[in-house]
Amino acid sequence: MTRGHRESHKIKSIGWLRAAVLGANDGIISTASLIIGVASAHASHGNLLLTGVAGLIAGAMSMATGEYVSVSSQADTERAALAEEKAELENDGPHEHRELAAIYERRGLERGLADEVAHALMAHDALGAHARDELGITEITTAKPLQAALSSASSFAVGASLPLVVTTISPDRWTVPAIAGTSLLFLATLGGLAARAGGAPLMPGMLRVMFWSALSMGVASGIGNLLGAT
């Protein structure tokens, strides 16, 4: 007797993974760049910590708000599309059946088999079949605004806390290099973990995030030095 075959596809986690990685990356990059920019303008250690804490709070709230509004708009669009599809099914079921069968034909099924499949799926769950195969709305991709907002805000806060901890424990003269070095290390680790969780190659994800993060911190340092000099 053969055991049941179970598959675990990494794409199922793509929704929360995207929000979590984006939040943590933003938390590290924005807070590190903010502190480095202020430090380059010769601010005191206390001001650096205050700047970092303010950036953490403002950034987390901004991430949560932006993600909630964005995903809520997506959810509203999905609900409107499902309501429209439900009305079409009620008003003209035969046409919707032909439409679904045509989709399966384009995917490679013979006309008779496509018609049978469409008939069977619509008998089981007509709206679900059209949502999935016509509209592209599935359980995996369904928008979840609150989940996305909380994930983004919490991951941003965790990411932002890392440069803050480094700022707290590093001597004044080593603050900028310590934050830059550890932040790049954190970001490379996060990029590698995200790539591994998503089943993608490690190095491209790590190198991308390190390059753009180094550029961001370099620009912030340059502006801080310029403003500090004037």
Query: Mean per-residue pLDDT for 170-184?
Result: 91
Which of the four pLDDT bands, split at 50, 70 and 90, describes residue 195?
Answer: confident
Under 8 Å CB-to-CB from 140, ≥6 apart: which residues?
11, 12, 14, 15
Query: Mean per-residue pLDDT for 75-86?
Result: 84
Q: What is residue 2's DSSP assignment? A: P
Answer with the residue of higher pLDDT: 175 or 137.
Answer: 175
**Rounded CA gap, 55 and 85, in Å?**
44
Answer with the residue of higher pLDDT: 1 or 129.
Answer: 129
Query: Mean per-residue pLDDT for 34-45?
Result: 92
Q: What is the pTM (predicted TM-score) of this model?
A: 0.70
**pLDDT, the chain, mean:** 83
**Rounded CA gap, 141 and 125, in Å?**
18
Task: Give percent of the chain with pLDDT exceeding 90.
Answer: 28
Buried b (16+ CB within 10 A) or exposed e, 52-71: beebbeebbeebbeebbeeb
Answer with the residue of higher pLDDT: 107 or 186.
Answer: 186
| pLDDT in the model for residue 1 | 42
